[in-house]
Structure 1
């Protein structure tokens, strides 16, 4: 386990992690929209992306069938995080500089894309008080027999093979979650 990780990810397996008390829900579904946001743009700007997920299955009975999941990172314009850059550069930025995009990634994890078939482990989003809003703890992506999700290629339930979008939060955890493992996570 990397030194930068906290005890949140100390479970001996991914399946055990999904049973921790702070895990609110485990959701399988398709990303239908993305919205990058910046909190505190005038101070220590934090960039995150809200994934809208059309829920196919979930552990939490009676939960809404659309979930909004906040994930660290995203692509924003420099203007959205202007104060951070102007403070560091000690000057006002030009319009051309402000229009440039900047990609915030946490630990090299690729960003979700519209059309991705995902498996997410979530906790309550304390910044938003609604039953369909969550904060991401872990995200895996189903590459559907090696075909990138979002490609429009049909998939069979038996071919589900979720893999980590980046590095697994704990190197000892499973590298993939198949259909059988997914079914057990939803119980």
Structure 2
């Protein structure tokens, strides 16, 4: 089937070219029903693009992005909370969700004090245990990295030593070859000088 986009028709599409087109095609049916009106004009937007050679910008001017602001805690803030000797940072950091719904009147009761003391000691103990475990795990990882880096450093040092030895051997081999070539050239030069001298003597004998 020929490509219909490569042709420009003054009227409707010929019936011969529509034989291979499905009748159920909505675009073909719409085109078939439309009356012949000569050469179809190019849309105004497309004509403007063709004349100016520029594609019009769409949308309005972009708004500048607002600067993103957030609170960045100091470097040692979490460390102070995690490794503090006293329990005040842990109280503020951990117990706030548990004490938010307690009334001020209930805080003074012996039962509430006992429960809060038990909760405080339990959570503080768990917090310390988790912190110590994290520190131990971090130390293990750091120790493993140190061992791995040391092994890589030793491997690189060994490779460097082998490369240096190979360079020395290569330099020695080249020096020996150059020395042998120089000796061979010197021997050839002596032979050529002797041949030239003998040739000159033979030429002189022939003249006399």
TM-score between the two structures when normalised by the length of structure 2: 0.20
Max Rg structure = 2
In terms of fraction of residues, the more helix-rich structure is: 2
Higher relative contact order (CA 8 A, sep 6+): 1
